[in-house]
């Protein structure tokens, strides 16, 4: 059930499997956030980064996307290098870090078992991604992290996946928006060399150039 603001409530009941998982973690770790993780960053940003879903010990614990697990280390370092943040990322939500002209959300707001949301959960949560995009008046670019986020974003924007295939370093113009895509900055991808910090930085360099009109 959606709230009137188009944001999932703390007890969003829409995905039964994710609700059960949330209940388990609320019992195990009652001091953790354990709820749909809200987007982070200003609504008037020109860039929206779309991650996959909260990590259990990361955003699910801290309540801020990509905060508290390995995936955030490369992401926030890269955002800082390209002028998309102010302050120091210290991996907790009260570190004072501010995003500038950039916002971060997830394709799925609740933590899924084994970091793997089911297709029905991705489809169900898409309403919130749609609302997140719709509430950003200055939005010009999106950066999808990984194939699932890419495809969910393409569908959210009303485009066809076949016409907008996922490719690391790729960019698609969809209506007024440009969708950039990267391999996900997960520990697995960086440890196996699928994604190097340089490859990730190239994506954000392209986004920065695009915004600067270069």
Give the residues lining the site for ligand URA (CB under 6 A).
Answer: 51-55, 58-59, 65-66, 69, 71, 106, 145
Quote the least distance from Cβ 58 to ligand URA, whole Å. Answer: 5
Q: Which long-range contacts (CB under 8 A, 24 or more apart) does 123-131 make?
A: 124/14, 124/15, 125/8, 125/14, 125/15, 126/152, 126/155, 126/156, 127/2, 127/6, 128/2, 128/6, 128/7, 128/8, 128/36, 129/50, 129/105, 129/153, 129/156, 130/156, 131/2, 131/5, 131/6, 131/7
Tell me whether residue 114 or residue 160 sits nearer to ligand URA (CB atom). Answer: 114
Strands 177-182, 171-174: pairing kind: antiparallel
Quote the least distance from Cβ 176 to ligand URA, whole Å. Answer: 25
The residues that bridge with 98 in the sheet, in sequence order, are 86
Report helix, strand or coil for 141.
strand
Tell me whether residue 7 or residue 162 sits nearer to ligand URA (CB atom). Answer: 7
Tell me whether residue 85 or residue 106 sits nearer to ligand URA (CB atom). Answer: 106
Quote the least distance from Cβ 91 to ligand URA, whole Å. Answer: 12
- Residue 96's contacts (CB-CB under 8 Å, 6 or more residues apart) are 87, 88
Quote the least distance from Cβ 214 to ligand URA, whole Å. Answer: 29
Quote the least distance from Cβ 165 to ligand URA, whole Å. Answer: 20
The residues that bridge with 103 in the sheet, in sequence order, are 48
Please check whether residue 69 is in contact with residue 37, taking contact to mean a CB–CB distance below 8 angstroms: no
Tell me whether residue 82 or residue 183 sits nearer to ligand URA (CB atom). Answer: 183
Q: In what order do the strands lie in the sheet with 141-145?
A: 102-106, 47-51, 141-145, 177-182, 171-174
Tell me whether residue 34 or residue 106 sits nearer to ligand URA (CB atom). Answer: 106
Residue whose Cβ sits closest to ligand URA: 51
Tell me whether residue 36 or residue 58 sits nearer to ligand URA (CB atom). Answer: 58
Quote the least distance from Cβ 104 to ligand URA, whole Å. Answer: 7
């Amino acid at each position: 059930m959606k709230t009137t603001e188009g944001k999932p409530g703390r007890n969003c009941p829409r995905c039964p499997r994710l609700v059960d998982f949330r209940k388990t973690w609320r019992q195990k770790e009652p001091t953790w956030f354990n709820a749909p993780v809200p987007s982070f960053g200003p609504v008037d940003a020109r860039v929206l980064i779309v991650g996959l879903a909260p990590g259990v010990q990361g955003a699910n614990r801290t309540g801020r996307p990509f905060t508290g697990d390995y995936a955030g280390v490369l992401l926030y370092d890269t955002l800082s290098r390209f002028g998309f943040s102010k302050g120091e990322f210290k991996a907790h939500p009260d570190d004072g870090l501010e995003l500038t002209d950039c916002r971060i959300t997830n394709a799925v707001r609740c933590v899924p078992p084994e970091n793997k949301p089911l297709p029905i959960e991705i489809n169900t949560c898409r309403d919130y991604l749609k609302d997140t995009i719709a509430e950003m008046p200055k939005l010009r670019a999106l950066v999808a992290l990984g194939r699932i986020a890419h495809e969910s974003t393409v569908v959210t924007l009303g485009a066809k996946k076949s016409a907008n295939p996922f490719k690391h370093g790729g960019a698609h113009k969809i209506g007024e928006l440009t969708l950039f895509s990267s391999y996900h900055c997960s520990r697995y991808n960086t440890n196996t060399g699928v994604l190097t910090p340089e490859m990730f930085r190239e994506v954000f360099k392209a986004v920065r150039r695009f915004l600067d009109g270069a």
